[in-house]
Amino acid sequence: MELLILLVTKQGELVSREQIIETIWGQDVFIETEHGINTAVRKIRQTLGDDPERPRFVQTVFGKGYRFVAAVSFSTACTSSPTGAQSKSGDGNGLPSSEEIANHGELIPNPSGVTTASKVSSNRSDAVFSPATNPELGRRLLKSAEARGKPWYPSALFAGGMAATVIALLVLAFVRLPRAPLLNHRLTIAVLPFANLSGDPAEEYLSDGMTEEVITALGQINPERLGVIARTSAMHYKHSDSDVRQIGHELGAGYVLEGSVRRSGDHIRVTAQLVETRDQTNLWSQDYEVLEFNEIPGVRTQIRDAVARALRLKTEAKLSSPASVQPEAYQLYLKGRYFLDRRDPESLQKALEYFEQSAARDGNFARAWASAALSYDLLEYVRAISPRDSYPRALSAATRAVQIDSESAEAHTALAYIHEHYEWNWTEADRELTRALTLDPNYELARQWYSYGLLHRRGDAQGAVEEMRRALALDPVSFRANVTMAERLERAGRHDEAIRQYVIALELSPDDAGVHSRLGELYGKKGDVVLAVTEYHRCLQLSGKQELERRFNDLNARAGFTAAFSAIEAEKLRASLDALEARAARGEYVSPSDFASIYAILGDRKQALDWLQRAYDEHASIMLELDSPIFDKIRDAPEFKQFVRRLKDPHV
């Protein structure tokens, strides 16, 4: 309620998050205000039927705050409220009942073009309430807000007759918003990369592994009350000189866990401390002495429990106890995790080798099996190995992991990938992903893959955006997650938002040629030729293709950006085909997906359909992406339509 009044009374001015915090909570309150603001804004939008991507009421100004964008008109018909006895109807606190609001409604045309109404419409940004039709209702509404102890300046609202819009929105908020929505907050914590104090760069895997271990452990506390920022975003701050307050602001985290690892021979010393980001207060700290690698899970659990106590959170009834793990197996597992998150084929292959060695050392180590399965899934997705090779191995490893630990979210996610991408069993894929997210709502990879299914299997582009937004909230400074978010927005036709998201991604990785290329194309579609040329120039520069840059300049001068962009992109694709054929000639695995997508973009229908048949035969992941715009030039082919029918019913 208070936030809505604040935004409306600013009449289109930007209200910073700092202003909101100071006005609503004050400077010294001990709660996580960032999530409180997000919750309140979301509730306001739900009540008003507002779309955050196409706002009619509350607009988000990324990184700054919020603005009320609906028109606010002033009515001279507003009369002073009587000071007589309080109405006996309502909620007992001077608040009008919903029946009162409904019964006093009538639409009043306004010569200015703004409709004034006393019956509130939640789906019109020009629907407003006139206190003139029921001044007592308006008086009690503001009196109720004032009685809650907030200086909302009722005289300012009514001076000169504040716009009917203000009162309508206040009525709507009081009737439909839950009371005190800002108190229903969820805490958020970020685990910063543990510092490697061993003096040996080769020990980075240990400090990074400890970081991930603690992230995983904190995710077990109480997912409904504690959100944990993902590893990818946490690693963004490795060797960073940013202070805790700044990091908390950038990640939307009210708390940060810092730590260090020092190894000397077989002796490992771990330190950890919990800090509140708002005022950098140290809430808890502890040192741990570890003599064996397999004691690290126990330290992780102790840190988890200490954080839960410091934040006064109740832990879930069932928390997995760290199983006994053979020390060398655990060390190999940590080395595998160090490479897994890089996602390039070489790193994924190294990760897989470590996980398989770990599982060979200790056959009951569920996490090694689950990570091995996930490595096979990702190697297939990046087209480094054939689905025929990855599928049986991934299935075996994931099944073994679930047999050992049925509550492994990672293992259920790996199984979901197998069901979706290879078996085309949508029911089981959804069941496994749902199970994974039930076990660990903070598992951002499962949320990304759920978003993928919404987009490609169900055709729900808007739903895919919202699910990816949840994943991004858990991994806000991950370059990969930000690019995926931009791609989801682009597929949903929300190009302006996609551009903003790509720009955010470039702030994290300024030299990514692919993102500069996407921005160039999107700016070109908008008709912003200057920015389109600038971004595409940067793409070609980063690619080191000076000859292509020269030809682009020439074509752009003669035929314009769109023609020049298309010609150069086609030339790049033909060069990629040559490279793929050279790899195949050397005996390397080359996914038919690569050939199919390139020929489809080039419009070579016969070649594209031939390679799609090969992709279908080996159950390549591209078969789930037939809705992609890259296939627009061959979409009307009977053979392509048959592929679509088969994928809707894989048994056709």
pLDDT value for 46: 63
Q: Is the pLDDT of residue 634 over 80?
A: yes
The answer on 229 and 136 residing in a single domain is no
**Residue 1 vs residue 459, higher pLDDT:** 459
Inside any domain, residue 388: yes
Same domain, 180 and 191: no
How far is Cα 621 from Cα 636, in angstroms, rounded to an integer? 21
pLDDT band for position 185 (50/70/90)? Answer: low
The domain boundary residue, chosen from 161, 185, 209: 185
Q: b/e for 486-520, b at 16 or more Cβ within 10 A?
A: bbbbbbbebeebbbebbebbbebeeebbebbbbbb
- Amino acid of residue 76: T
Domain C-terminal end among 185, 214, 247 = 185
Is residue 155 domain-shared with residue 27, that is, in the same domain?
yes
Q: Is 551 exposed, middle or buried (0-12, 13-18, 19+ CB in 10 A)?
A: middle
Residues 17 and 99 in one domain: yes
Reported as a pLDDT band with limits 50, 70 and 90, residue 151 is very low
Share of residues in the chain with pLDDT > 90 (%): 57
DSSP assignment, residue 315? P
Q: Check pLDDT > 60 for residue 517.
A: yes
Enclosing H/E stretch for 135: helix 135-147
**Structure tokens belonging to residue 41:** 């804004």
Is residue 369 in some structural domain? Answer: yes
pLDDT of residue 37: 75
Instruction: Return the half-sphere exposure (C-beta side, CA atoms, 13 A cut-off) of residue 175.
Output: 21
Task: Compute the 3-state secondary structure of the chain and give helix, strand, coil in percent, each to the nearest 5.
Answer: 60, 10, 30
Same domain flag for 45 and 107: yes
* pTM reported for the whole predicted model: 0.67
How far is the C-alpha of 618 from the C-alpha of 623, rounded, in Å?
10
> What was the pLDDT predicted at 341?
82
Letter for the amino acid at 106? E
pLDDT band at 405 (very low <50, low <70, confident <90, very high): very high
One domain for residues 197 and 226: yes
- The answer on pLDDT for 8 being more than 60 is yes
199 and 225: one domain? Answer: yes
Mean pLDDT value of segment 115-130: 35
Which pLDDT score, from 0 to 100, does residue 267 have? Answer: 85
* CA distance readout (Å), 207 to 204, 213, 251, 595: 5, 10, 21, 41
Q: Where are the beta strands (DSSP E) in 207-363?
A: 226-228, 255-264, 267-276, 281-290
The total of structural domains in the chain comes to: 4
Q: What is the pLDDT of residues 411-437, one digit of tens each?
A: 999 999 999 999 999 999 999 999 999
> 370: domain CATH number?
1.25.40.10
Residues 18 and 160 in one domain: yes
Range of the domain at 370: 332-440
CB burial of 114-142 (b: ≥16 within 10 Å; e: otherwise) equals: bbbbbbbbeeebbbbbbbbbbbbbbbbbb
Q: Which residues pair with 59 in a beta bridge?
A: 67
Assess contact for 238 and 219: CB atoms under 8 A: no
d(CA 637, CA 645): 13
Task: Tell me which of 34-43, 97-106, 459-468, 554-563 is least confident.
Answer: 97-106
Binned at pLDDT 50, 70 and 90, residue 21 comes out as: confident
Mean pLDDT of 339-353: 93
Token pair of 374 as six digits: 């996930």
Residue 529 lies in a domain: no
Which pLDDT value is given to residue 317?
42
CB 457 within 8 A of CB 426: yes
**Among 332, 414, 425, 338, residue whose Cα is nearest residue 380:** 414
Query: Is residue 564 assigned to a domain?
Result: no
For residues 159 and 257, state if they share a domain. Answer: no
Phi, psi (degrees; rounded to nearest 5) at 283: -90, -25
The pLDDT of residue 214 is 93
Q: What average pLDDT does the chain have?
A: 80
* Lowest mean pLDDT, pick from 96-100, 240-244, 462-466: 96-100
> How far apart (Å, rounded) are the C-alpha atoms in residues 292 and 73?
70
E strands, 120-279, are 187-191, 195-196, 226-228, 255-264, 267-276
Sign of the CA dihedral with 478 first, then 257, 187, and 63 last: negative
Residues in the chain: 652
Other C-beta atoms closer than 10 Å to the C-beta of 69 total: 15
Residues 297 and 362: beta-carbon distance below 8 Å: no
pLDDT digits (tens, 9 = 90+) for 31-76: 445 556 766 776 687 667 676 666 778 888 755 678 887 766 544 4
pLDDT tens digit sequence for 287-322: 998 867 778 888 888 999 999 999 998 765 444 445
- Do 160 and 275 share a domain, yes or no? no
Q: Which is nearest to 622 in space by CA: 410, 426, 381?
A: 381
Mean pLDDT calculated for residue range 533-551: 93
Higher pLDDT, 314 or 185: 314
pLDDT in tens, 349-373: 999 999 999 999 999 999 999 999 9
* Dihedral sign (CA 363, 355, 436, 400): negative
CATH number for the domain harbouring residue 209: 3.40.50.10610
Angstrom distance (rounded) from CA 606 to CA 256: 56
Residue 3's nearest CA partner among 366, 19, 13 is 19
Instruction: Flag whether 128 is in a domain.
Output: yes
Does the residue 604 lie in any domain?
Answer: yes
What is the predicted pLDDT for the residue at 231? 87
398/410 same-domain check: yes
| Residue 568 backbone phi and psi in degrees, to 5 | -70, -40
> How far is the C-alpha of 105 from the C-alpha of 137, rounded, in Å?
12
Same domain, 59 and 2: yes
Among 411, 440, 469, residue at a domain's last position: 440
**67: enclosing H helix or E strand:** strand 65-68
Name the helix (H) or strand (E) containing 535.
Answer: helix 529-543
We report the CATH number of the domain holding residue 95 as: 1.10.10.10
Q: Which residue has the higher pLDDT, 301 or 184?
A: 301
Rg (alpha carbons) of the chain, rounded to whole number: 29
Give a yes or no: residue 559 inside a domain: no
When comparing pLDDT for 35 and 222, which is higher? 222
The most confident of the ranges 44-48, 137-141, 206-210, 464-468 is 464-468
Q: Give, in degrees to the nearest 5, the angle at Cα 287 between 284 and 293.
A: 130
Burial class (CB in 10 A: 0-12, 13-18, 19+), 305: middle
Name 126's Cβ contacts closer than 8 Å, sequence gap at least 6: 70, 71, 114, 115, 165
pLDDT score, position 16: 85
Q: Does 515 reside within a domain?
A: no
C-alpha span between 52 and 462 (Å, rounded): 12
